[in-house]
């Protein structure tokens, strides 16, 4: 899931200061689950920003902001607003902005990473969406996302007691890989030299597109 | 009614036959895995044999031990027990010690704290003293072993005693992994060593946070099962009805299936409904604390009234402590998921929410936990113009204005000050949006929750205070006076503290 | 800046400041470690041009480092313009390399974003783009003016590069490009080399805008001129994104009996025309794969001899 | 009929009412609630498990419960058997009344009789000395940042005061003093971190899980294991003479707490035993002669033995459940 956190409220207020009627668009999927931009957070933000008494807020919650059909349901609300505060991830904010001709669309969140929910209110990064998965080689622990240096062939010298040199609260990704492979009895995999990889499948190759040719019947 | 009897206790057969006598239908489950196939809301009795030294628990073990001891050998019992452990184990220790002393062995009982749970203990203690058992209180112990002989050095302040013994009996209870497994399977909360943490154990002994699970410590019974049966059967039968007049209800359409409620519910009342791809409240387990309602990130959980049928002939002021009354509305059934609960506004599919308009309110609004602050609010706020904003379960609880200088010896609040009180089932039912909205209509807002660790819903009070702290820092960063928002921890007798907090809140100050 | 230390200005900078019409060329480092290649190229340009750009892994093709090759070029008496892209290095590496470049006596710097690695042979490489060209220009200018790195630490020895950048007069929308150019100049670029000019009318219009915005007063503008050797060369160039080659020029090449000579003539015509445009302070002559023609162009354009400085 | 409208009596009444059984509380005081109503919660920042919050809305619930009849300022004079039901003569404000009941619950609790320990220190005469009851009032009325009118520098607790002492007629452990006094000590230490708090004790009961003595000492509460020899006064300040391992000492304190225990109301219990068929034990508390299912007379709370709040409620609940079961099943006398 996409994990995000809310921007500092004063920053949000500053970006909204020129608009009288603001539509707060929560997003009902990832950012709801990570307690950053769901309906509850939107209501709380609306209540907090309403304290000044100078602006009007309305909260809507599309199921997802990354599908046009869900956004279409709220076109009327968008028209009535001076600006839209999107509480979706960066993708949702942009998609909302594409739809809202002539309306400023302002982000309320900082989109952080692709991660998992480890406990109530605690998420960790697991994937960077690099487009070329090698988890089968690394015991199901991603060296790209979970090693601070994205090393492919073992930890750096800064790994000590299973912790990363960047911050002792970060587990060394390669320690995790080692532990996993050991438990799988696959330590031999560590001897393989993983060659420099092709990053063109990652964002280094430019903005990515994906087409399922069997679903797309008319070529674009 | 089916009752699941969990555990491998040696008392299980006797226990099951006692349940049958009470016209209940016991179902034995021996492994944690066996629980998975059974409905979650069935009453569960977890039989638990304390894991203790056989010398004190098994008949004849003491005599056997005596036979291998030389007459001059010392026997030392270490009776270092917790307060919440059951006193029957101590009876056994005293009895065993007395028997060994009767056999002319030198017996010493080392205690860290003295216990006198009841007259029986007093009697056994007196007998043991008469038989020649030595009792020594200690603060710290050193134990060393050399070729089967233990040297125990007990210290108490500046005094110390050293005893050599071939037989050192640790009377403490050992953690049981089996119990831990059952606890995990039943979603019970445990603390160190796998012991089950109760729902404020003193409120309801033997109960757990989960309403349908009761813990029976067989050591406490010493085989006398009948002693506990009436109360146990009463509790089991009470499980046929929801705990509360209102329960939480998940709107499956809005639910993001995020498991947040599942993780925070102190009573394990929420579970997944995979068919509907949404969470579902188990009405029989829900205690209506409102924590999930407040925290649900999709705002998908609301309260609904439990159906009159489910509540049945439940009389007013029942043991649950909740007033009964205007329970109304239809209980949604599984086959009518679209059937919205009474009271839940039937929102259209577009899911829009109006931000409440600012309404003219009083000077101070207090969210009061019904378990503490709301009980004392009347007394504490004597002399102020108090209005109760909304009342749970439709029953009117009136807090009438008391003229200034009433009969309390508390300094009265200024006359004519409007204080609005909103009772909440738990501090955890108050979220930041509620507080922020209250700040729009009131000069000051305070939440009054139970003292730390005293929450009936485990950590609702903590959740509330954390929300207050976060909201305060957000108010600060917006440049508002965060002193307008405050909280107080209070108990059912802390009238003066509640009063002071309210007065301070009115003045814009803060309580620590 | 440390007191009492005079930073020696580059020849390029002094020529611009003296109001001379500046002529620069280009040296492409080899795809290998062969120093002689650079020496030969530099020797050919000695006395012909005022300074030579030394490219930085141009079009993402792996080559010898620009800074190292620049040093080799200067050893042969030609002043180098170090090119530095943002593609391959993060802010630490870029600054570190440039500190070394200054210490080695390199004085001119051309900052560009760098072509995406998708154009080169290492398509699977990660790109860095930790800072973009404008951020980099600003970082360096601040360092040069205040003696303090972007990270807030004081520098021991401050460089004084003559910083230039590039601009494309033909990219759309023109306004966006002009805004970007203005930002670059505001950030501290002192000279600007443009994309190769073929469509002189459009370039004239662009320069008019530049003058309107007053940019020509804040930086020296050099028109880029590319010399084509063949029909194929001009056809290929026409296909490069951001290039604007009028069809009639391509047609001229096709019809010409001697395409090489025609290519020279076209280049010379362009040079003569852009020279007259107000605000153009020089030309930058590029002859990819035909480096030996540069002295010929310079000579036939009447730029020789190059002015001497005291 | 429930004799006594304190914690045990009210708990029984509430349980019975929940089961649909009507009851009548006969209370000698002016209102229901008994002693516990005057108790104060003993949490500092954290709950100290005193159990008082378990009481919750009990008083309000019982006061507002139509199934529970409340006779205050009333006392039972006589009980006689009237063929399967009890005929009870009650002296109340309005004179003597006679009522009939099927069952009787004895929940008379305990007493602060004049002759028990601590009674000699009247608050007006010794404002710096607090007995158990006064301590509770202090806890109840404490403010957000003060307990005493002035911040104390030193406070002493005398635990087991009057307990375990044949001469004081309490040869047993009252079982609550260790708990309430150490909890109060924690509260005082929390309000006044600089105050010296000393507890003189004989035995220390485990009140919280773990090593309680260590926990208390970790909080800065000093434990002295000795029985002080003498209490005297110096200008109103209590002075305690005691002996520890180093020898005899005297020390003066700002405040002194005498942790009086739970004492049976012996005359009252004796009178009740006569009319209810219960017996008075050697320590003065009441006990069953025959099982309550046979007699219809139930015992709840501290009338039977010293109990904590929670134990009292549990005992009352057990009595109520037994009564309800018997009422449903039909009693065989």
Is the pTM higher than 0.90? The answer reads no
Vertex D245 angle, CA D240 and D250, to 5°:
20
Task: Report the residue of D19, D30, D38, D57 to disrupt the B interface, i.e. the one with the largest count of B CBs within 10 Å.
Answer: D57
Residues C165-210 have pLDDT tens digits of 999 999 878 888 899 999 999 999 999 999 999 999 999 999 999 9
Higher local confidence (pLDDT), A51 or B413: A51
For residue B202, give the 3-state DSSP assignment: coil
CATH number of the domain where residue C156 is located: 3.20.20.220
| Beta-carbon pairs below 8 A across chains B and D | 151
Q: Are residues D51 and D165 in the same domain?
A: no
Residues D168-181 have pLDDT tens digits of 556 677 778 888 88
Over range C290-297, report the average pLDDT.
93
Q: What is the pLDDT of residue B59?
A: 75
Residue B235 backbone zone (phi > 0: left; psi -120 to 50: alpha; other: beta): alpha
Q: CA–CA separation, D38 vs B495, rounded Å?
A: 12
CB B183 within 8 A of CB B194: yes
Q: Which range of residues forms the domain containing residue D278?
A: 2-111+264-329
Confidence of residue A117 (pLDDT cuts 50, 70, 90): very high
Q: Are residues A182 and A83 in the same domain?
A: no
Check if A47 contacts B (Cβ < 8 Å).
yes
Residues B252-267 have pLDDT tens digits of 999 999 999 999 998 8
Residue C238 has pLDDT above 70, yes or no: yes
Q: CA–CA separation, D275 vs D88, rounded Å?
A: 10
Give the number of other Cβ atoms within 10 Å of residue A80's Cβ. 11
Positive or negative: CA dihedral C119, C122, C125, C127: negative
From residue C309, give the alpha-carbon distance in Å to each of C17, C22, C77, C102, C220.
11, 13, 14, 21, 18
Assigned domain for A219 exists? no
Domain boundary among D260, D279, D311: D260
Chain C residues 16-55 within an 8 A CB cutoff of chain A: none
Assigned domain for A136 exists? yes
Residue C55 has pLDDT above 90, yes or no: yes
CATH number of the domain where residue D179 is located: 3.50.50.60
Assigned domain for D118 exists? no
Give exposure, D232-246, as e/b (b: 16+ Cβ within 10 Å): eeeeeebbbebeeee
Check if A15 contacts B (Cβ < 8 Å).
no
Domain boundary among A65, A80, A112: A112
Higher local confidence (pLDDT), D134 or C33: C33
Q: What is the pLDDT of residue B447?
A: 96
Give CA B355 to chain center in angstroms. 36
Confidence of residue B289 (pLDDT cuts 50, 70, 90): very high
Do at least 3 CB pairs under 8 Å connect C with B?
Answer: no
In the structure encoding, which two tokens stand for residue D289, read together? 């002669």
% of chain C beyond a pLDDT of 90: 88
Chains that touch C (3 or more CB pairs under 8 A): A
Backbone angles phi, psi at D250, to 5 degrees: -130, 145
Chain C residues 116-135 within an 8 A CB cutoff of chain A: 116-118, 123-127
For residue C126, give the 3-state DSSP assignment: coil
| Per-residue DSSP letter, D263 | B
Query: In chain A, which residues have their Cβ closer than 8 Å to the Cβ of B460?
Result: none
Q: Does domain B248-353 have CATH number 3.30.750.80?
A: no
Assigned domain for D22 exists? yes
CATH number of the domain where residue A57 is located: 3.40.50.2300
Q: Which fold has domain B54-170?
A: FAD/NAD(P)-binding domain (3.50.50)
Q: Are residues A91 and A154 in the same domain?
A: no
Give CA D332 to chain center in angstroms. 34
Q: Which range of residues forms the domain containing residue A139?
A: 131-197
Query: In chain A, which residues have their Cβ closer than 8 Å to the Cβ of C90?
Result: none
Q: Are residues D176 and D298 in the same domain?
A: no
Q: Are residues A147 and A47 in the same domain?
A: no
CB B138 within 8 A of CB B112: yes
Q: What is the pLDDT of residue B46?
A: 87
Q: Are residues A96 and A25 in the same domain?
A: yes
Domains: count for chain D: 2
Q: What is the pLDDT of residue D131?
A: 84
Over range A30-34, report the average pLDDT.
96
Q: Are residues A14 and A95 in the same domain?
A: yes
Residue B47 has pLDDT above 50, yes or no: yes
Q: What is the pLDDT of residue D332?
A: 42
| A197/C124 Cβ within 8 A | yes
Residues B143-179 have pLDDT tens digits of 898 888 899 998 877 778 899 988 888 887 777 778 8
Q: What is the pLDDT of residue B403?
A: 39
Q: Are residues D248 and D272 in the same domain?
A: no
Give the number of other Cβ atoms within 10 Å of residue B177's Cβ. 11
Q: Which fold has domain B2-49+176-238?
A: Rossmann fold (3.40.50)
Residue D119 has pLDDT above 80, yes or no: no
Q: Are residues A138 and A78 in the same domain?
A: no
Pick the residue from chain D with its C-alpha nearest to B321: D57
| A58/B256 Cβ within 8 A | no
Name the helix (H) or strand (E) containing A119.
Answer: strand A109-119
Backbone angles phi, psi at B299, to 5 degrees: 50, 40
Q: What is the pLDDT of residue B360?
A: 56
Q: What is the pLDDT of residue B56?
A: 76
The per-residue DSSP string of A3-26 comes to EEEEPPHHHHHHHHTT-SEEEEE-
Give the number of other Cβ atoms within 10 Å of residue D252's Cβ. 15
Q: Are residues D255 and D277 in the same domain?
A: no
Q: Are residues A150 and A88 in the same domain?
A: no
- Domain coordinates of chain B in residue numbers? 2-49+176-238, 54-170, 248-353, 364-506
Assigned domain for C289 exists? yes
Do at least 3 CB pairs under 8 Å connect B with D?
Answer: yes
Query: In chain B, which residues have their Cβ closer than 8 Å to the Cβ of A14?
Result: none
Q: Are residues D134 and D100 in the same domain?
A: no
| C116/A198 Cβ within 8 A | no
Assigned domain for C109 exists? yes
| A204/C125 Cβ within 8 A | yes
Nearest to A44 by CA among B264, B464, B295, B252: B295
Residues D181-193 have pLDDT tens digits of 889 999 999 999 9
Q: Are residues D97 and D213 in the same domain?
A: no
Confidence of residue D104 (pLDDT cuts 50, 70, 90): very high
Q: What is the pLDDT of residue B239?
A: 80
Q: Are residues A18 and A106 in the same domain?
A: yes
Higher local confidence (pLDDT), D294 or B395: D294
Over range B358-368, report the average pLDDT.
76
Domains: count for chain A: 2
Residue C1 has pLDDT above 70, yes or no: no
Q: Are residues D88 and D192 in the same domain?
A: no
Residues D291-318 have pLDDT tens digits of 888 888 999 999 988 888 888 888 898 8
| A197/C123 Cβ within 8 A | no
Residue B340 has pLDDT above 70, yes or no: no
Highest-confidence segment of B180-184, B191-195, B355-359: B180-184
CB C54 within 8 A of CB C29: yes
Name the helix (H) or strand (E) containing C248.
Answer: helix C247-255
Domains: count for chain C: 1
Q: Are residues A61 and A89 in the same domain?
A: yes
Confidence of residue B395 (pLDDT cuts 50, 70, 90): very low
Assigned domain for A218 exists? no
């Amino acid at each position: 899931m996409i994990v995000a956190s809310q921007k500092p409220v004063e920053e949000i207020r500053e970006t909204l200061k020129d608009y009288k009627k603001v539509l707060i668009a929560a997003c009902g999927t990832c950012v709801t689950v990570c307690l950053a931009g769901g309906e509850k957070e939107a209501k709380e933000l609306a209540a907090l920003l309403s304290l000044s008494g100078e602006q009007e807020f309305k909260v809507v919650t599309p199921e997802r902001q990354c599908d046009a059909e869900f956004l279409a349901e709220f076109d009327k609300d968008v028209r009535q607003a001076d600006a839209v505060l999107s509480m979706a991830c960066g993708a949702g904010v942009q998609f909302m902005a594409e739809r809202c001709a002539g309306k400023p669309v302002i982000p309320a969140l900082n989109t952080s990473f692709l991660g998992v929910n480890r406990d109530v209110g605690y998420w960790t990064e697991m994937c960077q969406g690099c487009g070329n998965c090698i988890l089968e080689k690394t015991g199901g622990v991603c060296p790209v996302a979970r090693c601070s240096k994205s090393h492919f062939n073992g930890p750096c010298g800064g790994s000590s007691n299973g912790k990363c040199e960047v911050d002792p609260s970060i587990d060394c990704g390669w320690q995790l890989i080692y532990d996993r492979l050991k438990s799988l009895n696959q330590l031999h995999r560590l001897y393989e030299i993983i060659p420099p990889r092709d990053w063109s499948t990652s964002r280094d190759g430019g903005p990515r597109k994906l087409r399922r040719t069997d679903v797309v019947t008319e070529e674009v | 009614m089916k009752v699941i009897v969990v555990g491998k206790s040696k008392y299980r057969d006797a226990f099951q036959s006692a349940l049958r006598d009470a016209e209940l239908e016991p179902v034995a489950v021996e492994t944690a895995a066996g629980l998975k196939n059974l409905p979650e809301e069935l009453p569960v009795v977890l039989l638990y044999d304390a894991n203790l030294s056989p010398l004190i628990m098994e008949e004849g073990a003491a005599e056997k031990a005596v036979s291998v001891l030389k007459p001059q050998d010392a026997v030392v019992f270490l009776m270092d027990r917790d307060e919440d452990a059951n006193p029957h184990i101590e009876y056994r220790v005293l009895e065993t010690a007395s028997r060994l002393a009767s056999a002319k062995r030198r017996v010493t009982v080392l205690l860290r704290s003295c216990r006198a749970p009841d007259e029986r203990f007093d009697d056994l203690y007196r007998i043991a003293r008469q038989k020649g058992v030595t009792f020594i209180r200690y603060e710290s112990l050193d134990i060393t072993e050399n070729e089967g002989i233990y040297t125990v050095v007990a210290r108490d302040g500046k005094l110390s005693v050293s005893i050599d013994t071939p037989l050192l009996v640790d009377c403490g209870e050992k953690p049981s992994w089996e119990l831990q497994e059952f606890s995990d399977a039943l979603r019970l909360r445990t603390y160190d060593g796998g012991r089950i943490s109760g729902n404020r154990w003193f409120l309801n002994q033997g109960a757990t946070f989960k309403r349908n699970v009761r813990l029976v410590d067989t050591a406490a019974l010493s085989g006398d099962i009948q002693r506990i049966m009436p109360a146990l059967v009463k509790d089991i039968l009470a499980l046929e009805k929801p705990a509360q007049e209102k329960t939480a209800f998940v709107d499956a359409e809005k639910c993001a299936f995020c498991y947040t409620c599942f993780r925070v519910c102190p009573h394990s009342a929420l579970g997944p409904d995979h068919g509907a791809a949404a969470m579902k409240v188990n009405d029989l387990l829900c205690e209506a604390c409102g924590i999930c309602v407040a925290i649900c990130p999709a705002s998908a959980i609301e309260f609904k009234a439990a159906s009159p049928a489910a509540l049945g002939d439940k009389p007013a002021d029942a043991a649950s402590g909740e007033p009964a009354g205007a329970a109304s509305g239809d209980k949604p059934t599984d086959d009518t998921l679209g059937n919205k609960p009474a009271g839940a506004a039937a929102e259209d599919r577009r899911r829009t929410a109006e931000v409440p308009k600012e309404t003219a309110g009083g000077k101070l609004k207090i969210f009061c936990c019904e378990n503490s602050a709301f009980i004392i609010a009347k007394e504490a706020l004597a002399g102020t113009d108090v209005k109760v904003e909304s009342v749970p379960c439709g029953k009117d609880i009136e807090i009438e204005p008391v003229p200034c200088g009433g009969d309390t010896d508390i300094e009265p609040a200024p006359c004519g000050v409007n204080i609005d009180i909103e009772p909440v089932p738990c501090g955890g039912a108050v979220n930041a949006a509620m507080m922020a909205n209250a700040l729009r209509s009131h000069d000051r807002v305070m939440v009054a929750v139970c003292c730390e660790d005293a929450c009936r819903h485990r950590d609702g009070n903590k959740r509330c205070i954390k929300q207050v702290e976060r909201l305060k820092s957000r108010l600060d960063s917006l440049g508002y006076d965060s002193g307008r928002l405050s909280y107080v921890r209070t108990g059912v007798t802390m009238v003066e503290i509640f009063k002071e907090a309210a007065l301070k809140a009115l003045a814009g100050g803060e309580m620590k | 800046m440390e007191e009492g230390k005079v930073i020696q200005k580059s020849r390029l900078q002094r020529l611009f400041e003296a109001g001379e019409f500046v002529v620069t060329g280009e040296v492409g480092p080899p795809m290998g470690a062969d120093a002689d290649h650079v020496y030969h190229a530099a020797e050919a340009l000695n006395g012909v041009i005022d300074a030579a750009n030394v490219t930085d892994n141009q079009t993402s093709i792996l080559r010898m480092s620009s800074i190292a090759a620049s040093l080799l070029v200067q050893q042969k008496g030609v002043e180098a313009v170090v090119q530095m892209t943002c593609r391959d290095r993060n802010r630490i590496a870029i600054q570190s390399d440039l500190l070394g470049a200054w210490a080695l006596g390199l004085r001119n710097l051309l900052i560009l974003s760098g072509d995406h690695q998708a154009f080169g042979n290492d398509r699977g490489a990660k790109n860095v783009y930790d800072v973009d060209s404008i951020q980099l220009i600003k970082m360096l200018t601040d360092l040069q003016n205040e003696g303090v790195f972007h990270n807030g630490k004081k520098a021991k020895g401050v460089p004084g590069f003559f910083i230039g950048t590039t601009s494309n007069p033909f990219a759309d929308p023109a306004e966006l490009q002009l805004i970007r150019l203005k930002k670059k100049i505001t950030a501290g670029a002192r000279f600007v080399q443009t994309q190769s000019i073929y469509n002189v009318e459009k370039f004239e219009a662009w320069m008019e805008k530049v003058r309107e915005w007053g940019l020509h007063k804040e930086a020296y503008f050099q028109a880029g001129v590319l010399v084509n050797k063949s029909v194929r060369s001009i056809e290929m160039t026409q296909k490069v994104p951001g290039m604007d080659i009028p069809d009639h020029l391509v047609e001229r090449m096709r019809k010409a009996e001697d395409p090489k000579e025609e290519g020279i003539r076209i280049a010379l015509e362009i040079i003569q025309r852009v020279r007259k445009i107000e605000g153009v302070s020089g030309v930058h002559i590029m002859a990819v794969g035909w480096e030996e023609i540069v002295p010929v162009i310079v000579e036939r354009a009447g730029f020789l001899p190059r002015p001497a400085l005291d | 009929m429930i004799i006594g409208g304190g914690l045990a009596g009210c708990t029984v009444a509430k349980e019975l009412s929940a089961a649909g059984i009507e009851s009548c509380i006969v209370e000698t005081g002016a209102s229901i609630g008994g002693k516990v109503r005057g108790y104060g919660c003993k949490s500092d920042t954290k709950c100290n498990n005193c159990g008082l919050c378990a009481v919750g809305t009990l008083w309000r619930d019982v006061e507002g419960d139509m199934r529970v009849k409340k006779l205050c300022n009333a006392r039972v004079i006589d009980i006689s058997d009237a063929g399967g039901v009890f005929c009870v003569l009650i002296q109340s404000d309005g004179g003597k009344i006679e009522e009939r009941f099927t069952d009787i619950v004895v929940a008379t609790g305990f007493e602060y009789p004049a002759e028990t320990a601590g009674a000699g220190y009247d608050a007006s005469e010794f404002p710096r000395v607090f007995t158990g009851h006064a301590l509770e009032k202090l806890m109840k009325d404490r403010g957000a940042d003060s307990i005493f009118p002035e911040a104390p520098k030193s406070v002493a607790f005398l635990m087991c005061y009057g307990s375990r002492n044949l001469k004081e007629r309490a040869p047993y452990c009252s079982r609550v003093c260790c708990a309430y006094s150490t909890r109060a000590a924690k509260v005082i230490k929390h309000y006044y971190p600089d105050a010296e708090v000393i507890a003189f004790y004989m035995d220390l009961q485990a009140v919280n899980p773990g090593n309680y003595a260590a926990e208390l000492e970790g909080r800065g509460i000093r434990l002295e294991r000795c029985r002080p020899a003498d209490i005297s006064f110096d200008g109103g300040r209590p002075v305690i003479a005691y002996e520890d391992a180093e020898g005899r000492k005297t020390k003066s304190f700002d405040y002194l707490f005498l942790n009086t225990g739970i004492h049976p109301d012996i005359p009252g219990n004796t009178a009740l035993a006569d009319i209810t068929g219960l017996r008075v034990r050697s320590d003065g508390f009441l006990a069953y002669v025959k099982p309550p299912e046979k007699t219809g007379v139930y015992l709840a709370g501290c009338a039977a033995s010293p109990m904590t709040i929670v134990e009292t409620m549990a005992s009352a609940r057990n009595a109520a459940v037994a009564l309800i079961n018997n009422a449903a099943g039909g009693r065989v006398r």
